């Protein structure tokens, strides 16, 4: 009886071992990750799969986030590894190569800082500094490189995963970076595999923003596009070259010749991003006076916008959902004391959720914005509202006064009597030329007509985006010791009072340009909704002992209880029964 029981036990153990070995062997054949999250956080988008399935060159990814890492970066390294393994599973092991390198193993460990500097200078890999205590309690610095190089045989792109990640703590920054990781990787792959880069142009010559104030917006496009700054004559000379034309906050009137060239660019199926309010406000006047004036602009472009089906009104939008500015709240004669107050003239545009351009982006900060009306237009096109005011807004016609007296009004429904006023509109479809039945203004003008230019009276397929404020893409600048440095677009000069980084501005701009250029694959990845679920640190501190006991003592008690139950079952089953 005992021998049979022992043989059966050994047989069961052998079968269990065989099953485990087979499962391990099977898992090694194919990388699999099961996604149990509600929003599909660990499931690759269809656009990503399409890019990976159609690779024309071998992709090599070298990750430098490995080695002796702090716990928060261990999680990041694991997430990066899982994502790249899934990329490799779809693209193929020969087409997608992955390599992890510990920077401390490169060269002499004693010259680690020199290695970090060489990686920064040669490849643009930015080290991340960590302050921590050693065993003696002394604060020491450690360096990690949360970055990777994506390359082919001819090109490479560096991804610094924490370069644009916002957050107050390393954990928040890491989570923000991981949320954007799939997009960054796919964008890098498209950068190095694209046979031809698309062309974007900023129009100049009408008082538009100079490069210094659109530096951050321009740099964000240079990753995947060629970006030029051109005049109307240069646009005329290369009317079909540019996939999108950006007109950012003009301050001088357009001539009839300028409008004709823009019109013909649109007739050649060009796409336009037009950003401009229709009022002029001198903000510097408020530094010395309690009020200033908002005056209508005369840009001489209203008829072209009417033809496209939109009108930017000569109005000022006030909104209860707005940025804050510092205001001296000290009594007369006392030392100045500044406090944050809502500045209704700096509205925070509300993104709609029905379009990939604005899906899952933050609010977009504007300054002295106007409002937009959609019209019948001259063509067959569809209108989609992208940005609006909040449910508590107010519209004033220009000319009008602008000043701090507006803060004396109660922020109620009587004052903020408008709601969801359109401030950005997408127009898609076909158009007829504004100059269809008119003589070309270029005749007998100073503009030189290209030899191959052919006038057109209708377009086939256009995408036009009109925004009622150009300041949404204007970055602040910092002048220190004579050096002028552009700030990131999310930076607000009154951040110390407002306490908010406006990431929605750059997201909206990049998404809008991507949409105009037809890059819907990148746009769909960027606009994915991913919920970051952080642990409640207060509960961790308060309930630390409880959860330690729960996770350590309870399993031991359960195993002991199961052992006792099995013991009595076996004792009852195999005990000898005597008949008295």
Q: Indicate if the pLDDT at residue 38 is higher than 60.
A: no
Mean pLDDT score, 133-147: 73
**pLDDT for 99:** 94
pLDDT-derived band at 136 (thresholds 50, 70, 90) equals low
Q: What is the pTM of this model?
A: 0.81
Q: Which CATH number fits domain 196-289+298-315+358-388+421-526: 3.40.50, 3.30.1460, 1.10.10, 3.30.70?
A: 3.40.50
**pLDDT for 71:** 80
SS3 call for 478: strand
371 contacts 317 by C-beta, under 8 angstroms = yes
Q: Indicate if the pLDDT at residue 571 is higher than 90.
A: no
**pLDDT for 123:** 87
Q: Indicate if the pLDDT at residue 580 is higher than 70.
A: no
**Residue scoring higher pLDDT (421 or 404):** 421
Chain mean pLDDT for the chain: 86
Tell me the DSSP string of 329-391: -SPTTSPP-EEEEEEEEEEEEEEPSSSTTTTT---EE-SS---EEE---SEEEEEEEEEE--S
**Residue scoring higher pLDDT (318 or 45):** 318
**402-430 per-residue burial string, b: 16 or more CB within 10 A, e: under 16:** beeebeeeeeeeeebebeebbbbbbbebe
Helix and strand numbers, DSSP H then E, in the chain: 15, 25
Q: Which residues contact 518 (CB under 8 A, 6 or more apart)?
A: 243
Locate 54 and state its tokens: 């159609």
**pLDDT for 130:** 77
370 contacts 468 by C-beta, under 8 angstroms = yes
Q: Using one digit for the tens of pLDDT, what is the confidence trace for 341-398?
A: 999 999 999 999 888 899 888 899 999 999 999 999 999 999 999 999 999 999 999 9
Q: Using one digit for the tens of pLDDT, what is the confidence trace for 504-528?
A: 999 999 999 999 999 887 888 877 6
> 130: left (phi > 0), else alpha (psi -120 to 50), else beta?
beta
Phi (first) and psi of residue 329, to 5 degrees: -105, 5
What CA–CA distances, in Å, run from 387 to 354, 411, 571? 11, 22, 74
Ranking 127-136, 293-302, 327-336, 463-472 by mean pLDDT, the lowest is 127-136
Q: Indicate if the pLDDT at residue 469 is higher than 70.
A: yes
Ranking 114-123, 186-195, 536-545 by mean pLDDT, the lowest is 536-545
Q: Using one digit for the tens of pLDDT, what is the confidence trace for 274-331?
A: 999 999 988 777 777 888 899 999 999 999 999 999 999 999 999 999 999 988 778 7
Q: Using one digit for the tens of pLDDT, what is the confidence trace for 212-267?
A: 999 999 999 998 899 999 999 999 999 999 999 999 999 999 999 999 999 999 99
**pLDDT for 259:** 97
Q: How many residues does the chain have?
A: 580
pLDDT-derived band at 537 (thresholds 50, 70, 90) equals low
Nearest to 464 by CA among 416, 510, 516, 499: 516
Phi (first) and psi of residue 346, to 5 degrees: -110, 75
- Under DSSP, the state recorded for 399 is S
Locate 486 and state its tokens: 């552009």
Q: Indicate if the pLDDT at residue 530 is higher than 60.
A: no
Locate 355 and state its tokens: 């379009």
Domain covering 40-190, topology: Glutaredoxin (3.40.30)
Mean pLDDT score, 41-45: 75
Q: Indicate if the pLDDT at residue 488 is higher than 80.
A: yes
Tell me the DSSP string of 59-73: EEEEE---SS--HHH
Q: Using one digit for the tens of pLDDT, what is the confidence trace for 79-123?
A: 999 999 999 999 999 999 999 999 888 877 677 788 888 888 888
**Separation between Cα atoms, residue 566 and residue 568, nearest integer Å:** 6
Locate 24 and state its tokens: 């391990």
**Residue scoring higher pLDDT (93 or 9):** 93
**pLDDT for 35:** 52
Q: Indicate if the pLDDT at residue 534 is higher than 70.
A: no
pLDDT-derived band at 416 (thresholds 50, 70, 90) equals very high
**pLDDT for 568:** 82
Q: Is the dihedral of CA 569, 573, 576, 577 positive or negative?
A: positive
Q: Indicate if the pLDDT at residue 428 is higher than 80.
A: yes
**pLDDT for 481:** 81
Q: Where are the domains of the chain?
A: 40-190, 196-289+298-315+358-388+421-526, 540-580
CB atoms < 10 A from the CB of 87, how many? 24
What CA–CA distances, in Å, run from 116 to 120, 123, 129, 438, 536? 6, 10, 11, 64, 35
Strands, E, within 92-152: which ranges? 96-100, 128-133, 139-144, 147-151
**Separation between Cα atoms, residue 283 and residue 293, nearest integer Å:** 9
Phi (first) and psi of residue 452, to 5 degrees: -95, 10
**Separation between Cα atoms, residue 160 and residue 173, nearest integer Å:** 12
Q: Indicate if the pLDDT at residue 473 is higher than 90.
A: yes
Mean pLDDT score, 52-79: 89
Q: Which helix (H) or strand (E) holds 85?
A: helix 71-91
Q: Indicate if the pLDDT at residue 140 is higher than 70.
A: no
């Amino acid at each position: 009886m005992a021998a049979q029981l022992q043989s059966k036990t050994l047989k069961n153990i052998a079968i269990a071992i065989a099953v485990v070995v087979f499962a391990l062997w099977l898992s090694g054949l194919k990388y699999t990750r099961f996604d149990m999250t509600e929003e599909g956080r660990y499931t690759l988008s269809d656009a990503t799969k399409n890019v990976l399935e159609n690779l024309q060159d071998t992709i090599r990814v070298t990750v430098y986030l490995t080695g002796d890492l702090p716990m928060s970066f261990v999680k990041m390294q694991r997430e990066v590894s899982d994502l790249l393994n899934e990329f490799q599973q779809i693209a193929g092991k020969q087409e997608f190569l992955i390599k992890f390198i510990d920077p401390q193993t490169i060269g002499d460990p004693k010259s680690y800082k020199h290695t970090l500097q060489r990686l920064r200078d040669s490849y643009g890999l930015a080290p991340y500094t960590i302050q921590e205590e050693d065993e003696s309690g002394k604060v020491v610095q450690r360096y990690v490189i949360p970055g990777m190089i994506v390359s082919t045989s001819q090109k490479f792109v560096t991804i610094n995963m924490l370069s644009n990640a916002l957050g107050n703590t390393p954990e928040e920054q890491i989570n923000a970076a991981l949320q954007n990781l799939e997009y960054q990787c796919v964008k890098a792959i498209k950068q190095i595999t694209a046979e031809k880069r698309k062309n974007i142009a900023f129009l100049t010559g009408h008082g538009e923003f100079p490069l210094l104030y659109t530096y951050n917006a321009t740099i964000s496009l240079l990753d995947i596009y060629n970006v030029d700054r051109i005049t109307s004559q240069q646009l005329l000379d290369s009317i079909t070259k540019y996939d999108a034309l950006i007109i950012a906050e003009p301050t001088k009137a357009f001539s009839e010749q300028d409008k004709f060239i823009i019109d013909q660019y649109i007739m050649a199926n060009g796409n336009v991003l037009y950003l401009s309010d229709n009022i002029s406000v001198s903000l510097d006047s408020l530094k010395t006076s309690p009020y200033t004036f908002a005056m209508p602009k005369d840009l001489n472009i209203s008829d072209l916008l009417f033809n496209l089906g939109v009108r930017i009104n000569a109005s000022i939008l006030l909104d209860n959902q707005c940025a804050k500015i510092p205001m001296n709240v000290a009594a007369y004669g006392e030392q100045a004391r500044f406090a944050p107050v809502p500045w209704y003239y700096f509205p925070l545009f509300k993104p709609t959720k029905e379009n990939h351009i604005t899906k899952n982006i933050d609010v977009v900060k504007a300054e002295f914005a106007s409002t937009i009306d959609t019209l019948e237009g001259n063509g067959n096109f569809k209108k989609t509202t992208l940005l609006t005011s909040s449910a508590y807004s107010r519209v004033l016609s220009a000319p009008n006064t602008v000043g701090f007296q507006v803060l004396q009004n109660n922020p109620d429904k009587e004052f903020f009597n408008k709601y969801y006023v359109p401030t950005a509109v997408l127009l898609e479809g076909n158009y007829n030329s504004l100059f269809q039945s008119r003589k070309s203004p270029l005749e007998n003008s100073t503009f030189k007509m290209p030899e191959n230019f052919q006038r057109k009276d209708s377009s086939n397929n256009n995408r036009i985006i009109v925004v009622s404020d150009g300041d949404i893409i204007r970055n602040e600048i910092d002048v220190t010791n004579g050096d002028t440095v552009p700030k990131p677009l999310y930076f607000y000069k009154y951040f110390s009072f407002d306490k908010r980084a406006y990431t929605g501005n750059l997201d909206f701009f990049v998404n809008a340009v991507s949409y105009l250029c037809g890059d819907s694959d990148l746009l769909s990845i960027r606009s994915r909704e991913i919920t970051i679920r952080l642990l409640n640190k207060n509960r961790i501190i308060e309930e630390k002992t409880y959860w330690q006991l729960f996770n350590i003592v309870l399993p031991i008690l359960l195993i002991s209880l199961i052992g006792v139950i099995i013991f009595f079952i076996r004792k009852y089953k195999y005990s000898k029964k005597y008949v008295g």
